[in-house]
Amino acid sequence: MVAWNPARLRADDGTEPIVGFRAWRLALDRDGPRLAPTTPRPVWPPREAPAATCSGTHTRLYLVFDPTAKPHRCPDEGCTCGWYAAREASTLVRPGGPAAVIGQVSLWGKVIEHARGWRAEHAYPARLRLVCSRCARTGRWPARPTIVAISGATGEPACSVHAERAARRADLELAARALEHDLLDAYAVELLPEELLPEADRIDLLTRIRRGIEH
């Protein structure tokens, strides 16, 4: 498989993309598996890298409506717009997080750096890996899934420990390795190596408590 290469980068923004980490939900449609943001937004289209957009009506006060604001190139210093990526994979470990896929993402164009990562004008997945959703939100790595429990248009990867629980409310079960291959093929990217997954001991107290509850 040949990795998909985005269009030629803008000369005024440099030619070396920044690589960060992102987590996604796993969506399924008639064309196969798709990446979906962990927030309620449309799926990430395969082999496309659209520029981030913003209505220009939100301010640095984080989603506070500002009717006087004007549209701008994303990302903007006084806004929350842009494609997000974390500096470290461990930042993606969150209690209750819906992550089913973890991966690296390339960022280019206009990029704004933050303490824990970046916001960018353009982004595209670089490497991906399915992870057990229950293990991911409690910091049990490497979170290797064996099945993907399908409910409607959503897939929940589950390891051997959590497979039975995930399958109880599923409409269909698919083999995780086969679906992961289809996902990599759809986006024309490589598999994320296990050594780049978050470190199991770098999780916060609330996640540790949740781990104990779900054990």
pLDDT in tens, 84-121: 999 998 887 665 567 899 999 999 999 999 999 999 99
Terminal alpha carbon distance of the chain: 39
pLDDT of residue 77: 82
pLDDT of residue 181: 98
Domain boundaries, the chain: 16-39+49-210
This prediction's pTM: 0.82
pLDDT of residue 2: 42
Spell out, as residue ranges, where the chain has pLDDT lower than 70: 1-15, 55-70, 93-97, 200-215
Contacts of 163-168 with CB under 8 Å at 24 or more apart are 165/134, 166/133, 166/134
pLDDT of residue 120: 95
Q: Omega into 40 within 30° of 0, i.e. cis?
A: no
Buried b (16+ CB within 10 A) or exposed e, 87-118: bebbbbbbbebbbbbbbbbbbbbbbbeeeebb
